[in-house]
């Protein structure tokens, strides 16, 4: 229970009790002040009379019992002039037994609320989602609850209350809070003196709502917030117990689903998943700005698969840690049975990227990987389109029986275009007629003129290189070249004809697969 709440409850029963609260703190136990140091930050320490003034070091939270008004004034004067406790309670000696029993009762109640945390965890284990948990929390505290991450994405909310402002209604409908609204929230939350799940209350002049916020803290960093929104400054004190529970549950869920990630990677990975599931461009841009994600000005997508699925999960985890050292700015995303990388293609990183791709090529051969590589792009809200390019690069490479570990979409883009032509049987009509002539001639005469033409075109019309690739004497290639000219009339010095022959050869190759 919060120190301020204990003080408030004591004053209701014992009006003469006085308190000083300079840094509210969640208390878990009651201790007698016996040592000079090694204090527990979540304990309320008890000391009697003027013996307190002889000490040089004090705990964060202190309860002092005085025997007379004179002693009371002496204590107050001493603590006002020294570096005393941050939170301080003064109480009369004649009520010391009742007061300590009351505090113990309050803390036992707090322990029972800890059991509520276990109950919420049980709901998670049973498959209840965050919306269900927030609805249950809202039922217990009687107010609107909303959970969001630090990029502004709304993770869940309880049933809508009629006092919500239009800004919040629009945010909930769209699934994210806009940048200016998040900046406003940050400005208020920066007034907190510590990063913890301890609830923090403030009144918002802009929305005219009272906010009780509880940060979702993982590894000492805030990952998000659970908000209680109230149209009144007064709300059920049980909310101070419910919000930390919900923020801890949300933190546990994030930890389990994203082990080892820092907050920046966590935000990026969640955003990418949402983009792949259809997140709106406005939401993407807003969340990038709110989360201050360092998105590269130019980037491309790499999709990594294993040849075989055996021990895939362990292999992906190992591979992810290897690639995280080479590719940036974010750690690889494990998505279904693959890894997704975002590569920064800033021209300043040209040499670094060459080394990274050489390392990836070596890694791919060693670990039997296939890697699809998209074209470059500049806006993250286009990620899904370029992810599909990387996926399609691999699919087309498999179809064309190309034995490559790294496949660039730009190298198979022509085949991608052919896939989008609905009537494939009409594709041959787009081709130069020379190919059909040679195909028929080869079938009737058991020759390989069409294959010779393909290799000849692939080598840039280099007869010597063509002969080496086909293990054929150079004079034989020269003879076949003349046969092709005689049969089809093609002019190998005409650049337009060579272009037509090359794309026609690709269409034939595509149709034969």
> What pLDDT score was predicted for residue 513?
64
- Tell me: do 251 and 135 sit in the same domain: yes
Instruction: Read off the pLDDT of each residue in 275-291 and give the average, rounded to a whole number.
Output: 90
> What pLDDT score was predicted for residue 408?
94
* CATH code of residue 218: 3.30.450.40
- How far apart, in whole angstroms, are the C-alpha atoms of residue 330 and residue 265? 6
Does the pLDDT of residue 51 top 60, yes or no?
yes
* CATH code of residue 388: 3.30.70.270
282 is a domain residue: no
- Tell me: do 330 and 225 sit in the same domain: no
- Tell me: do 87 and 161 sit in the same domain: no
- Tell me: do 434 and 415 sit in the same domain: no
Instruction: Read off the pLDDT of each residue in 225-239 and give the average, rounded to a whole number.
Output: 86
Instruction: Select, from the ranges 86-90, 174-178, 186-190, 222-226, the one with the highest average predicted confidence (pLDDT).
Output: 174-178
pLDDT tier at 372 (50, 70, 90 boundaries)?
very high
- Tell me: do 298 and 411 sit in the same domain: yes
Does the pLDDT of residue 190 top 60, yes or no?
no
- Tell me: do 413 and 462 sit in the same domain: no
Q: Indicate the SS3 state at residue 221.
A: strand
Least confident of 107-121, 319-333, 354-368, 397-411: 107-121
Instruction: Give kind and range of the element (H or E) at residue 489.
Output: none
142 is a domain residue: yes
In which domain, by residue range, is 498 found? 428-511
- Tell me: do 151 and 91 sit in the same domain: no
Does the pLDDT of residue 129 top 90, yes or no?
no
Instruction: Read off the pLDDT of each residue in 111-124 and give the average, rounded to a whole number.
Output: 65
Q: Is 390 left (phi over 0), alpha (psi -120 to 50) or beta?
A: alpha
> What pLDDT score was predicted for residue 340?
93
Question: What's the chain's average pLDDT?
Answer: 83
Single pTM value for the model: 0.57
pLDDT tens for each residue of 191-220: 665 667 778 888 888 788 898 988 888 766
> What pLDDT score was predicted for residue 300?
95
278 is a domain residue: no
**Boundary of a domain, candidates 419, 448, 468:** 419
276 is a domain residue: no
> What pLDDT score was predicted for residue 220?
67
Short-list 472, 469, 429, CA closest to 447:
472
pLDDT tier at 376 (50, 70, 90 boundaries)?
very high
> What pLDDT score was predicted for residue 285?
92
Does the pLDDT of residue 232 top 80, yes or no?
yes
pLDDT > 70: percent of the chain: 88
Label residues 90-127 b or e (16+ Cβ within 10 Å = b).
bbbeebbeebbebbeebbeebeebeebbeebbeebeee
Instruction: Give kind and range of the element (H or E) at residue 478.
Output: helix 474-488
> What pLDDT score was predicted for residue 505?
86
439 is a domain residue: yes
274 is a domain residue: no
- Tell me: do 310 and 330 sit in the same domain: yes
Does the pLDDT of residue 315 top 90, yes or no?
no
264 is a domain residue: no
> What pLDDT score was predicted for residue 256?
63
pLDDT tier at 68 (50, 70, 90 boundaries)?
confident
> What pLDDT score was predicted for residue 500?
83
55 against 67, higher pLDDT: 67
380 against 185, higher pLDDT: 380
- Tell me: do 432 and 415 sit in the same domain: no
pLDDT tier at 407 (50, 70, 90 boundaries)?
very high
286 is a domain residue: no
Instruction: Read off the pLDDT of each residue in 339-353 and give the average, rounded to a whole number.
Output: 90
**Boundary of a domain, candidates 209, 231, 257:** 257
- How far apart, in whole angstroms, are the C-alpha atoms of residue 47 and residue 27? 17
pLDDT tens for each residue of 252-275: 766 665 555 566 788 888 899 999
Does the pLDDT of residue 312 top 70, yes or no?
no
> What pLDDT score was predicted for residue 192?
60
**Boundary of a domain, candidates 106, 138, 165:** 106
- Tell me: do 232 and 312 sit in the same domain: no
pLDDT tens for each residue of 241-255: 888 888 888 887 666
Does the pLDDT of residue 124 top 70, yes or no?
no
Separation of first and last alpha carbons in the chain = 70
Does the pLDDT of residue 86 top 60, yes or no?
yes
- Tell me: do 253 and 325 sit in the same domain: no
* CATH code of residue 441: 1.10.10.2840
pLDDT tier at 392 (50, 70, 90 boundaries)?
very high
Structural domain count, the chain = 4
- The CA angle 429-435-436, to the nearest 5 degrees, is 65
Instruction: Read off the pLDDT of each residue in 159-187 and give the average, rounded to a whole number.
Output: 86
- Tell me: do 411 and 436 sit in the same domain: no
- How far apart, in whole angstroms, are the C-alpha atoms of residue 101 and residue 99? 5
DSSP state of 119: H
């Amino acid at each position: 229970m919060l120190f301020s709440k204990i003080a408030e409850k004591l004053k209701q029963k014992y009006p003469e009790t006085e308190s000083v609260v300079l840094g509210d703190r969640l208390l878990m136990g009651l201790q007698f002040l016996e040592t000079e140091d090694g204090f527990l930050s979540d304990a309320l320490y008890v000391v009697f009379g003027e013996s307190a003034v002889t000490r040089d070091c004090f705990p964060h939270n202190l309860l002092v019992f005085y025997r007379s008004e004179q002693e009371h004034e002496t204590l107050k004067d001493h603590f006002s002039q020294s570096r005393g406790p941050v939170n301080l309670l003064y109480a009369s000696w004649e009520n010391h037994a009742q007061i300590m029993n009351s505090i113990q009762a309050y803390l036992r109640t707090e322990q029972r609320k800890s059991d509520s945390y276990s109950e919420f965890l049980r709901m998670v284990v049973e498959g209840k989602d965050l919306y269900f948990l927030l609805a249950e929390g809202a039922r217990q505290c009687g107010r609107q609850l909303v959970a969001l991450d630090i990029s502004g994405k709304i993770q869940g909310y309880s049933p809508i209350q009629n006092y919500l402002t239009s800004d919040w209604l629009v945010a909930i409908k769209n699934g994210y809070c806009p940048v200016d609204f998040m900046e406003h929230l940050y400005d208020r939350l920066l007034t907190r003196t510590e990063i913890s799940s301890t609830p923090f209350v403030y009144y918002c002049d802009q929305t005219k709502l009272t906010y009780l916020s509880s940060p979702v803290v993982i590894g000492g960093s805030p990952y998000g917030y659970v908000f209680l929104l109230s149209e009144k400054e007064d709300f059920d004190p049980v909310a101070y117990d419910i919000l930390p529970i919900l923020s801890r549950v949300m933190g546990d869920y994030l930890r389990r689903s994203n082990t080892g990630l820092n907050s920046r990677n966590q935000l990026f990975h969640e955003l990418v998943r949402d983009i792949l599931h259809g997140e709106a461009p406005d939401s993407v841009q807003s969340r990038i700005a709110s989360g201050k994600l360092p998105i590269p000005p130019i980037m491309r997508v790499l999709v990594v698969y294993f040849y075989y699925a055996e021990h895939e999960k362990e292999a992906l985890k190992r591979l992810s840690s290897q690639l995280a050292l080479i590719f940036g700015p974010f750690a690889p995303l494990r998505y279904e049975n693959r890894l997704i990388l975002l590569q920064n293609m800033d021209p300043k990183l040209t040499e670094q990227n060459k080394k990274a791709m050489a390392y990836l090529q070596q890694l791919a051969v060693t670990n039997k990987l296939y890697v699809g590589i998209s074209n470059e792009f500049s806006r993250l809200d286009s990620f899904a389109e370029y992810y599909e390019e990387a996926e399609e690069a691999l699919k087309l490479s498999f179809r064309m029986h190309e034995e490559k570990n790294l496949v660039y979409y730009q190298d198979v883009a022509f085949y991608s275009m052919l896939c989008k032509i609905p009537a494939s049987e009409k594709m041959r009509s787009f081709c130069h007629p020379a190919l059909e002539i040679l195909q028929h001639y080869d079938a009737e005469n058991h020759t390989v003129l069409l294959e010779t033409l393909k290799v000849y075109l692939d080598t840039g019309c280099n007869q010597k290189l063509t002969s080496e690739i086909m293990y054929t004497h150079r004079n034989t290639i020269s003879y076949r070249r003349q046969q092709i000219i005689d049969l089809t009339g093609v002019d190998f010095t005409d650049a337009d004809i060579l272009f037509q022959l090359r794309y026609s050869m690709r269409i034939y190759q595509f149709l034969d697969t």
